[in-house]
Amino acid sequence: MNTKIGYLIKEIRLSKSMSQVDVADGVMHQTNYSKFELGKIEISYQKLHEILLNMDMDIAEFNYLYYHDNESQKEKIIREFNSLTFIDNKKINGIIQEIKNYLSVQNDVLLKDILSVSKALLAIQNEDYNEASKYGNLVWGRLEKLDSWYLSDIKLINNILFAFPIETAQHIAEFALKQGEKYIPYSKYENVFLPIKFNLVQLLLRRKMTKKAEIINDEMLNTFIEKNYYIQISICLLRKSMIRLHHKDIEYAEELKREAYEISKVMKNQSLRNKLLSEEKSIRTMLVN
């Protein structure tokens, strides 16, 4: 029985100067609620959710407070993996060793997948795509048999799209987005699925499917403009300019390109400018060859 949840609920309630009657109102009898706070009984997820609503707290905030002090080794590994923003060899090797230590004691499907993805990322970094594909296929072999994917599955697959042949990667990305339709109302939908769309545009450009790529790129561009994500805006503008140039819309292409580079200039962001130069060169190669 997990007594820590009840203890934390009590701590939150007292800090908000609320009585047990206030918090339990419409959810459960006060006597049973008191037993819950003392860790003598467990309650359903639905009742926990309703109790949190009575305290004006959502489940995400409660989870943060709970796991801040009660994070398991598995949760720590998952958090470290999800926090990776680029291929950092030192961090990835650390995650790999942590997973090996964990798996030496007990089996875990998700951590096995994260281990495979981590090894695939290192292989991609070393441009060893045969090795990356070997590890990527271990994950894909499990996921392709499932009728429904969840966020942990989708996050995994997005990390290794480029370990697969382009046509296969495109199919996987499109399937992931289809699976993600059930999450559209979810507050963190864009955090998970925009990176997949971002990668899908590049995959489509590699196959010269420029019309489809432009539609998805425009969707992302509109989202990034709404959120004032200027780095992402500049990259989407650059991609759109290259697509327009490919379709001989030269004047509009040049205008978009100027706007993209102007953002890096205004932000005084040399790293972004270098990224744009690299992206421009890469897309030119994709659309010419």
pLDDT of residue 84: 85
Distance of CA 49 to the CA centre of its chain: 24
Nearest to 53 by CA among 30, 22, 32, 29: 22
In the predicted model, what is the mean pLDDT of residues 183-208?
92
Q: Give helix 189-206 / helix 230-246 axis angle, nearest 10°.
A: 30
- Domain boundary (22, 51, 70) is at 70
In the predicted model, what is the mean pLDDT of residues 121-141?
92
Outline where DSSP puts E strands in the chain: none
pLDDT of residue 69: 74
CB-based contact 77:99 (threshold 8 Å): yes
CB-based contact 6:37 (threshold 8 Å): yes
pLDDT of residue 289: 65
Buried b (16+ CB within 10 A) or exposed e, 92-102: beebbebbeeb
Q: pLDDT confidence of 60, banded at 50, 70, 90?
A: confident
- Domain boundary (70, 86, 120) is at 70
CATH number at residue 21: 1.10.260.40
- Domain boundary (21, 40, 70) is at 70
Full residue range of the structural domain in which residue 225 is found: 208-289
- Residue 59 in any domain: the answer is yes
In the predicted model, what is the mean pLDDT of residues 229-254?
97
- Residue 263 in any domain: the answer is yes
In the predicted model, what is the mean pLDDT of residues 187-213?
93
> How many other β-carbons are positioned within 10 Å of the β-carbon of residue 194?
17
CB-based contact 276:264 (threshold 8 Å): yes
Q: Is the pLDDT of residue 1 over 60?
A: no
- Residue 177 in any domain: the answer is no
Q: Which long-range contacts (CB under 8 A, 24 or more apart) does 172-176 make?
A: 172/140, 173/199, 173/200, 173/203, 174/200, 175/149, 176/149
pLDDT tens digits for range 260-289: 999 999 999 999 999 999 999 999 999 976
Residues in the chain: 289
- Residue 75 in any domain: the answer is no
- Residue 81 in any domain: the answer is no
Instruction: Using alpha carbons, list the distances in angstroms from residue 46 to 6, 50, 52, 59.
Output: 15, 6, 10, 11
- Residue 97 in any domain: the answer is no
pLDDT of residue 2: 64
The token pair that represents 171 in the structure block: 């199919």
CB-based contact 142:109 (threshold 8 Å): yes
Please give the tally of structural domains in the chain: 2
CB-based contact 20:30 (threshold 8 Å): yes
- Residue 178 in any domain: the answer is no
- Residue 248 in any domain: the answer is yes
Number of helices and strands (H, E) in the chain?
16, 0
pLDDT of residue 20: 96
- DSSP-derived secondary structure letter, 86: S
Q: Is the pLDDT of residue 85 over 80?
A: no
